[in-house]
């Protein structure tokens, strides 16, 4: 079945690893493919894994020779935000400062030997936590009885928060492990010194 | 021709520099491959931010756990696990179908480079040194921690082998070889398994934990390749003539 996927013509529908996907024709501009969230497989083909709205839309036109996805439909296209918006995001002063501080702290800690990676890691994570797209377009229901796709930004924020909490729990555990190991090393060196002193005095 | 290395360093040791270089180089490769294969720059940069701490934490934890608390250091298998954990965490935050596979594949391609550069750091520090050896290119380590020993430069050999495997992986990827991930994994596992026998730490042991992990990884990859070939054969048969 041929699929006209927005600006990308003559795509082929093909399930990949059991998931419905669209394969772009060979020779399509890579930037255009990245814009529409195509990813490159190991064999060099570019594919776009279809979401529920797109699958439902395609299922409703299963008998057709070709399926056309266009901006006039009720499905929000999977376009990536323009590059200048990404740059604007990265230029948010708070995120950039946290990233710099976290990075410098991590490097300095690691070089000097006091491995307080927990603090620097939390800062690094926090600098990206707010990187989720706040301006996700509203998902509107398709007129032909398909389910409304829920806004994914809330789900990814909650998952991101969960990850930060897990990391915050990991940091003290790692610190404790290193602390215990340092104590063991000190005890061993003291014991060794005592043994050396005993053997010298015996001599 | 012998090489003499004094392992008594000041505050900043070359070992740490090479470790950071290894992580930076690996992360750069992962970011480049991710962006090239269609992963958003934002996700790639978050993965880059997570890799260093996860890599180091897991490397330290693996060394500590497997040595039952006697060794404070970094284990390469733990570091590799940390890189994969970082990729899995990213795929949890942003659940896009297919992208988890791409992230894990790109991590696999970068790992041999990271390991190779890290081994140069090990060479400068005298850790993971080879068996006792006083032939050509033997390395004489001196220092308070290590004493005075002459050993085989296994770290240099590992660095050369793994950087070659990384280059081979990039060639496989450029040629769009669908089994490139499995091939890189099998080559890395075979190299690690074999070179482990040239290490001093492996003496008095038949099989180390690292070698067991390498065997397991090789078996998994071979099974995967077999399944993939069967799937392709089945797909080719189902295409109407």
Q: Note whether ipTM > 0.85 here.
A: no
Smallest CA-to-CA distance from B239 within A21, A14, A25 is with: A14
In a domain, B239, yes or no: no
In a domain, B41, yes or no: yes
Q: What is the dihedral of CA B158, B161, B162, B166, to 10 degrees?
A: 170
Name the percent of chain B lying above pLDDT 70: 95
Q: In A, which residues are within 8 Å of B180 by CB distance?
A: 42
List, in order, residues 6 or more apart from A173 with CB less than 8 Å away: none
SS3 A47: strand
pLDDT, average across residues B28-49: 89
CB atoms within 10 A of CB A52: 15
Q: In B, which residues are within 8 Å of A187 by CB distance?
A: none
Q: In A, which residues are within 8 Å of B19 by CB distance?
A: 110
CB atoms within 10 A of CB B110: 25
**pLDDT in tens for each of the 203 residues of chain A?**
788 888 888 898 888 888 889 999 999 999 999 888 899 999 999 999 888 888 888 888 877 788 888 776 655 566 655 445 555 555 555 555 556 666 666 666 655 554 555 555 655 565 555 444 444 444 444 444 444 444 444 455 555 556 656 665 666 556 666 666 666 666 667 776 776 666 666 55
Instruction: Write down the pTM of the prediction.
Output: 0.74
Q: In B, which residues are within 8 Å of A17 by CB distance?
A: 98, 101
SS3 A23: strand
Q: How many separate helices (H) and strands (E) can be counted in chain B?
A: 7, 3
Q: State whether residue A183 sits within 8 Å of chain B by CB.
A: no
More confident call, B217 vs A201: B217
Q: Encode pLDDT of B41-68 as tens digits.
A: 888 888 888 888 788 878 887 887 777 7
In a domain, B142, yes or no: yes
In a domain, B167, yes or no: yes
Chain A residue at shortest CA distance from B176: A43
Using CB atoms, which residue from B19, B40, B97 is nearest to A49? Answer: B97
Output the pLDDT for position B220. 93
Alpha-carbon distance B179 to nearest alpha carbon in chain A (angstroms): 8
Expressed as residue numbers, the domain containing B222 is: 2-234
In a domain, B110, yes or no: yes
Between chains, do A128 and B97 touch, taking CB under 8 Å as contact? Answer: no
In a domain, B240, yes or no: no
Task: Evaluate whether A50 touches A58 at the Cβ level (below 8 Å).
Answer: yes
Output the pLDDT for position A133. 43
In a domain, B90, yes or no: yes
Q: Which of A38-42, A89-93, B153-157, B223-227 has the lowest mean pLDDT?
A: A89-93
Q: Which of residues 120-159 of A touch B (CB under 8 A)?
A: 120-121, 124-125, 127-128, 131, 152, 155-156, 159
Can you tell me the distance from the alpha carbon of A117 to that of A191, in angstroms, rounded to the nearest whole number? Answer: 30
Output the pLDDT for position B21. 92
SS3 A13: strand
Output the pLDDT for position B190. 95
Using CB atoms, which residue from A38, A117, A181 is nearest to B53? Answer: A117
Output the pLDDT for position B155. 93
In a domain, B117, yes or no: yes
Number of domains in chain B: 1
Can you tell me the distance from the alpha carbon of B186 to that of B217, in angstroms, rounded to the nearest whole number? Answer: 7
- Mutation target vs A (from B11, B42, B45; most A CBs, 10 A cutoff): B42
């Amino acid at each position: 079945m041929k699929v006209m996927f927005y600006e990308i013509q003559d795509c082929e529908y093909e399930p990949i690893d059991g998931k419905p996907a669209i394969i772009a024709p060979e020779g399509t501009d890579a930037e255009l493919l990245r814009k529409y969230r195509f990813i490159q497989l190991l064999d060099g083909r570019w594919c776009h894994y279809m979401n529920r709205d797109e699958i439902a839309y395609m299922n409703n036109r299963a008998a057709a020779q070709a399926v056309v996805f266009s901006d006039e439909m009720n499905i929000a296209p999977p376009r990536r935000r323009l590059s200048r918006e990404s740059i604007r995001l990265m230029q948010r002063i708070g995120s950039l400062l946290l990233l710099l501080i976290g990075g410098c702290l991590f490097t300095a800690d690691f070089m000097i030997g006091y491995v307080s990676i927990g603090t620097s890691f939390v800062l690094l994570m926090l600098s990206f936590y707010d990187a989720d797209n706040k301006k996700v377009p509203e998902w509107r229901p398709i007129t032909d009885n398909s389910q409304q796709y829920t806004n994914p930004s809330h789900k990814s924020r909650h998952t991101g928060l969960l990850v930060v909490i897990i990391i915050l729990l990991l940091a003290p555990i790692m610190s404790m492990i290193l602390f215990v190991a340092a104590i063991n090393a000190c005890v061993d060196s003291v014991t060794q010194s005592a043994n050396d002193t005993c053997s010298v005095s015996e001599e | 021709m012998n090489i003499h290395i004094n392992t008594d360093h000041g505050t900043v040791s070359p070992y740490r520099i090479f470790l950071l270089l290894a992580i930076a180089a690996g992360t750069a490769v992962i970011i480049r491959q991710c962006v090239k294969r269609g992963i958003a720059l934002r996700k790639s940069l978050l993965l880059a931010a997570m890799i260093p701490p996860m890599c180091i934490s897991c490397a330290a934890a693996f060394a500590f756990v497997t040595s039952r608390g006697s060794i404070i250091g970094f284990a390469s298998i733990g570091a590799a696990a940390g890189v994969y954990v970082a990729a899995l965490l990213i795929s949890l935050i942003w659940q896009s179908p297919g992208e988890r596979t791409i992230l894990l594949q790109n991590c696999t391609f970068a790992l041999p480079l990271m390991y190779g550069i890290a081994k140069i750091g090990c060479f400068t520090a005298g850790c993971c040194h080879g068996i006792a050896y006083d032939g050509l290119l033997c390395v004489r380590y001196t220092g308070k921690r290590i004493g005075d020993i002459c050993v085989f430069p296994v770290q240099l050999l590992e660095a050369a082998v793994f950087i070659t495997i990384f280059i081979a992986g990039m060639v496989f990827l450029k040629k769009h070889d669908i089994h490139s991930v499995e091939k890189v994994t099998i080559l890395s596992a075979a190299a690690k398994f074999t070179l482990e026998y040239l290490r001093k730490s492996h003496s008095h042991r038949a099989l180390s934990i690292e070698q067991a992990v390498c065997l397991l990884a090789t078996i998994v990859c071979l099974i995967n390749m077999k399944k993939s070939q069967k799937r392709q054969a089945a797909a080719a048969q189902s295409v109407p003539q």
